[in-house]
Amino acid sequence: MKSSMAELPDETDMLTEQEINGSLTPNPLPASLWRRMWRASITAIAYLLLYILSQVTGLWVLYMLNGYRACPAAYKVLGLLQYILSNAESSDQQMEIWRVECVCPLLATLFLGVVILGTGALFCIRTLVPGNSTGFHDRRQSMSRQPSFTYSEWTDAKQEDFYELDAVPETPVFDCFMDMKTDDDPTTLKVKPVGLQERRGSNVSLTLDMCTPGTTETYGMLLSPRDQSAQEYLENASNPLTPAQLHIRALDDAVLQAEFYEAPMNFVDPKEYNIPGVVRKNRYKTILPNTHSRVCLQGTEEDDFLSTYINANYLKGYGGQEKVYIATQGPTVNTVGDFWRMVWQEHCPIIVMITNIEEKNEKCTEYWPEDSVTCEGIEITVKQFIQADDYSLRIFTVKYEGEERSLRHYWYTSWPDQKTPDKAPPLLQLVQEVEEARKQAPPSSGPVIVHCSAGIGRTGCFIATAILCKQLRHEGVVDILRTTSQLRLDRGGMIQTAEQYQFVHHVLSLYERQLTWRPEE
């Protein structure tokens, strides 16, 4: 975003409006012209000296080929140069180079000189003629990778796979409703136009509010004008798509990239967590939890901030229901205990892991046991293991102070970092199975924990897909821009790259076709 992008999009180079204006403002013409002429003159002199050196060296080699030793050959070259400069009459001694056996080396020497002079002339011309500067739009578009999937590949070759999926449950799993403003024309995109500097801002509090353990922090934060513009954009961005519009939009990569880069990432300023020891609890130093929605652990000491800190945020579900998901980073060696404390504290029934342990480097530590382990006083025991084609399921028994709960751990391994899966049906099947498992969980169960490595890219795609599939079933339309913006309000950077944003559109388009094209009985 990466990078790399870490799950950092390569999206970390944020240009300000002043930098862009400054880079596009041409320098005064006379000074620029004189600089180019000076560089061209130096280049011409350098190539001319190189040409002379090559010819002298070539003549010296020719005389050595005629039987002279090194020093006499050098003397003969000096004599030939004196002959050329003095315009003296030709002599047999100076014409030795024109022997038949010396014609080929002589021609090679002359050809080398022509090549050197031609190359020097080209460099001089390139120095004198100014090149075209690359605009910001091109730089921004170059940050996106081409999708690793094709639409036709799914719609044609893999269309049969959709029919093999289980039927979508009629009873909704995430029974909630979003605070959504309906427009008269749902096909129009209604967002407040903002400047580049405003769009690249993040929703950052100017003061860090130490929350009461076990609660979320208040949202009444003091924001700068730039942050207010970013927050206002994310709160108001909306672009509902009907099924027909969704299918067309899924094929328009240029429009999707423009829409993706328009929405602020809403990353947190690292200065907000300028507290000793916090850096050891973050996998990536630039991916931090937004303060108003971060999960606060119940600390052993009231004044100990580190005991309450974990890099995780509560996220709303379909219809705006609070605390339906928790998005978090992949646990590190230093945070395994905090992770299991959060699982127990929040009564989480399901964990969805969307990363491998290593992908070039470590993406997540193996925080679960092979059989049984006790961590922070919590006993975790593996009761059942099921291996599917694209993911595995472990069912744990979690005990603490005499209380016992069941926990399901889904591990999806077919999704590379900062990229997209090669096929959609396994992901849709996993989304459907997680919804069904949440439906069967006890009523007192808490949020579903979803994590990848940084907890924003693949995590954002999975949560957005789950929300939007339900919106498509209930409303017949999808608002991917609004869902993405709402997720970023609670955790910055959700859906990390333009390719992932395109992937969500493709998945929803294919899911809509799955709902429409039911096989005849």
Kindly state whether residue 10 falls inside one of the protein's structural domains: no
- The answer to whether the annotation marks 201 as part of a ligand binding site is no
Mean pLDDT of all residues in the chain?
77
* Amino acid at position 214, single letter: G
One domain, residues 112 and 244? no
Range of the domain at 436: 237-517
Name the residue with higher pLDDT: 347 or 135. Answer: 347
Last residue of a domain, one of 128, 162, 184: 128
Q: State residue 146's pLDDT score.
A: 45
- The answer to whether the annotation marks 458 as part of a ligand binding site is yes
Please tell me the pTM assigned to this model: 0.60
One domain, residues 295 and 430? yes
- At residue 70 the predicted structure's pLDDT band, cuts being 50, 70 and 90, is confident
The encoded tokens of residue 360 equal 């070039």
- The answer to whether the annotation marks 205 as part of a ligand binding site is no
Phi–psi pair at 236, nearest 5 degrees: -105, -10
- The answer to whether the annotation marks 146 as part of a ligand binding site is no
Kindly state whether residue 273 falls inside one of the protein's structural domains: yes
Q: State how far the Cα of 417 lies from the Cα of 72, in Å rounded to an integer.
A: 68
Kindly state whether residue 61 falls inside one of the protein's structural domains: yes
Q: State how far the Cα of 304 lies from the Cα of 386, in Å rounded to an integer.
A: 40
Chain centroid, CA 404 distance in Å: 40
Q: State residue 407's pLDDT score.
A: 97
One domain, residues 115 and 251? no
Among the listed residues 102, 452, 461, 469, the single catalytic one is 452
CATH number of the domain enclosing 280: 3.90.190.10
Q: Would the pLDDT of 275 be above 60?
A: yes
What integer is the mean pLDDT of 175-194? Answer: 39
One domain, residues 254 and 121? no
Q: State residue 132's pLDDT score.
A: 43
**Using a CB cutoff of 8 Å and minimum separation of 24, what contacts does 314-318 make?**
314/216, 314/447, 314/490, 315/447, 315/463, 315/487, 315/490, 315/491, 316/178, 316/486, 316/490, 317/174, 317/176, 317/467, 318/172, 318/174, 318/176, 318/177, 318/178, 318/467, 318/470, 318/471, 318/474
Q: State residue 30's pLDDT score.
A: 58
- The answer to whether the annotation marks 452 as part of a ligand binding site is yes
- Confirm if 40 and 46 have CB atoms less than 8 A apart: no
- At residue 472 the predicted structure's pLDDT band, cuts being 50, 70 and 90, is very high
What integer is the mean pLDDT of 6-16? Answer: 40
One domain, residues 337 and 467? yes
Q: ∠ CA(447), CA(421), CA(258), 5° rounding?
A: 85
Q: State residue 67's pLDDT score.
A: 74
Kindly state whether residue 152 falls inside one of the protein's structural domains: no
The encoded tokens of residue 426 equal 């396994």
- Angle formed by the axes of helices 253-262 and 243-250, to 10°? 100
**What SS3 state is found at 43?**
helix
Last residue of a domain, one of 128, 160, 193: 128
- The answer to whether the annotation marks 417 as part of a ligand binding site is yes
Q: State residue 103's pLDDT score.
A: 63
Q: State residue 107's pLDDT score.
A: 75
124 is catalytic: no
Q: What is the bridge-based pairing of β-strands 403-412 and 294-296?
A: unpaired
The encoded tokens of residue 227 equal 């942050």
Kindly state whether residue 297 falls inside one of the protein's structural domains: yes
Q: State how far the Cα of 468 lies from the Cα of 481, in Å rounded to an integer.
A: 11
- The answer to whether the annotation marks 453 as part of a ligand binding site is yes
Kindly state whether residue 138 falls inside one of the protein's structural domains: no
Of 17-31, 113-127, 375-389, 416-430, least confident by mean pLDDT is: 17-31
Kindly state whether residue 184 falls inside one of the protein's structural domains: no
Q: Would the pLDDT of 455 be above 50?
A: yes
Q: ∠ CA(63), CA(66), CA(68), 5° rounding?
A: 65
Kindly state whether residue 271 falls inside one of the protein's structural domains: yes
One domain, residues 258 and 391? yes
Say which residues have a Cβ less than 8 Å from residue 5's Cβ, sequence separation at least 6: 11, 12, 418, 496, 497
Q: How many domains does the chain have?
A: 2
